[in-house]
Chain A
Amino acid sequence: MQIDLTKFPRQKNTELRSWALVALAAAAWIVLYNIIEPLADWLAYGLLALEHGSRLGESLAFFFYDVPKLLLLLSGMIFVISLLQTFIDTQKVRTLVEKRGEGIGNAMAAFFGAVTPFCSCSSVPLFIGFVQAGIPLGITLTFLITSPLISEVAFVMLIGMFGWKIALLYLISGTTIGMISGFILGRMKLERYVEGFVYDIKPRANIDLNLEEKLTWSERISRSWDSTKEIVRKVFWFVIFGIAIGAGIHGFVPENALAGIMGKDAWWSVPVSVLIGIPLYSNPAGIIPIVSALLDKGASLGTALAFMMSVIALSLPEMIILRRVLKPQLIAIFIGVIAAAIILTGYMFNLVM
């Protein structure tokens, strides 16, 4: 006799209970979100008796307000995003992209790259899986560019520190960068720079991957809850340290100190920021508070965003992983094309903002 996994959670009251818990959590979230600002002020100016307008007071009030605010935003929004992500996985994306040609295929890969969660340890299986399915190299690379470049954590952090408009700008420009760079890479006929073993892998004949798996809402909710906890735990210290450094810059670095080197008029600032960002890797949760403080001190938006994208999209560990399937020539071209696209985006923002 088989034990049917689906029997347990399908009971009505489990579903109802899950939704009730979500509603309760949402209510608590709203209450908390509305009391953190007075609480932060009270902590800095009341309890610690710092003076309004003093450097330390400003920095600390900023820190006490931003840390809980961002952690709340992250947990709430990552939960909602994770819930949506339970409807999509890389296997489904592969099936959807499989029959498309270049152009539409790139656009779809960029879109799905943006919405699926990214784990660098999965980039090789993903690459091989796409190649096995006969998906053109350019489309596969579009997915591999967009997936790390658009991160849900970065998106939420941008909403928290810069507002909706900048967060949307990031989404749109990141997807466009992935689409265009992948398309260009596809045109360059680089198949010979893919390691040969990738084409030799044959899936076993009797593989049945139709696991699923009709998920019930309570299963989706509990999975999203688990992945939210996982992500928030992972970014927790990045948020704390990022905001601490940001708060330090905010309170102690003079206004316009950076205008000369990261401002609009320094034309070389965009490429230099991107170059510095390539080998660096930081979690977006750590880099965005710092970028935000840099902006306050006279750095321009295009330069700051280009730096951030370069830090999160291009990283040494990721390249080392990709080296397993891509020859060094292709890695170099890959980095070059993405860096160029990010630099262009940076200039564009500096021009229009």
Chain B
Amino acid sequence: MLTIKILGSGCANCKRLEQIVRKIVEEMSIEAEVIKVMEYPDIMAYGITSTPGLVINEKVMSFGRIPTPAEVTIWVANALQTA
């Protein structure tokens, strides 16, 4: 089971990232919990300086940009194998 966190205070880019992630989780039909982290103290605990951030199993995968669906798919696949 994966834990995927989307770090962002609710801006347009954060919502786009969330959509991408949810779609991939659905398409790959894997068990994953998608959590939106919207409070600044919680976001900043990950040490990023720009949002949106993507965290898979507590590892920061990207921040400050919207990764492509292809990238997210590969990250998710990798996380599944190492988990």
In angstroms, Cα B75 to Cα A91, docked, is 21
- Interface flags, B37-71, vs A, CB<8A=1, else 0: 00011011111111100000001111111001001
In angstroms, Cα B71 to Cα A121, docked, is 23
- Interface flags, A199-224, vs B, CB<8A=1, else 0: 01111100111010000000000010
Q: Is the CB of A125 within 8 A of B49?
A: yes
Q: Is the CB of B44 within 8 A of A128?
A: yes
Taking the nearest CB of chain B, how far is it from the CB of A226, in angstroms?
8
Give the bracket for the number of chain A residues in contact with chain B: 20 to 34
In the assembled complex, which residues on chain B have CB atoms less than 8 Å from the CB atom of A130? 49
Q: Is the CB of B64 within 8 A of A223?
A: no
The prevalent SS among residues of B at the interface is mixed
Residues in B7-49 with C-beta less than 8 Å from chain A: 8-9, 11-14, 40-41, 43-49
In the assembled complex, which residues on chain A have CB atoms less than 8 Å from the CB atom of B9? 121, 124
Taking the nearest CB of chain B, how far is it from the CB of A3, in angstroms?
5
Taking the nearest CB of chain B, how far is it from the CB of A319, in angstroms?
15
Cβ-closest chain A residue relative to B16: A230
Residues in A239-267 with C-beta less than 8 Å from chain B: none
Q: Is the CB of A201 within 8 A of B48?
A: no
In angstroms, Cα B46 to Cα A37, docked, is 52
In angstroms, Cα B18 to Cα A35, docked, is 42
Residue A132, interface by CB 8 Å: yes
Residue A94, interface by CB 8 Å: yes
Taking the nearest CB of chain B, how far is it from the CB of A353, in angstroms?
37
In angstroms, Cα B40 to Cα A3, docked, is 33
In the assembled complex, which residues on chain A have CB atoms less than 8 Å from the CB atom of B43? 125
In the assembled complex, which residues on chain A have CB atoms less than 8 Å from the CB atom of B40? 124-125, 128, 197, 201, 324-325
Residue A54, interface by CB 8 Å: no
In the assembled complex, which residues on chain A have CB atoms less than 8 Å from the CB atom of B12? 121
In the assembled complex, which residues on chain A have CB atoms less than 8 Å from the CB atom of B74? 3, 5
A-B contact pairs, 27 of them (CB 8 A): A1-B81, A3-B74, A3-B81, A5-B74, A89-B64, A91-B49, A91-B63, A119-B50, A120-B11, A121-B9, A121-B13, A121-B51, A125-B43, A125-B44, A125-B48, A128-B44, A130-B49, A132-B47, A197-B40, A197-B41, A200-B41, A201-B41, A203-B44, A203-B46, A204-B45, A208-B60, A211-B61
3 nearest A-B pairs in the assembled complex, by CB-CB distance: A121-B11, A129-B49, A122-B50
Known interface pairs A91-B48, A129-B44, A132-B47; 12 further A-B residue pairs with C-beta atoms within 8 A, sorted by A's residue number: A3-B74, A91-B49, A94-B49, A121-B8, A121-B12, A122-B50, A125-B44, A197-B41, A201-B41, A204-B46, A208-B60, A209-B63
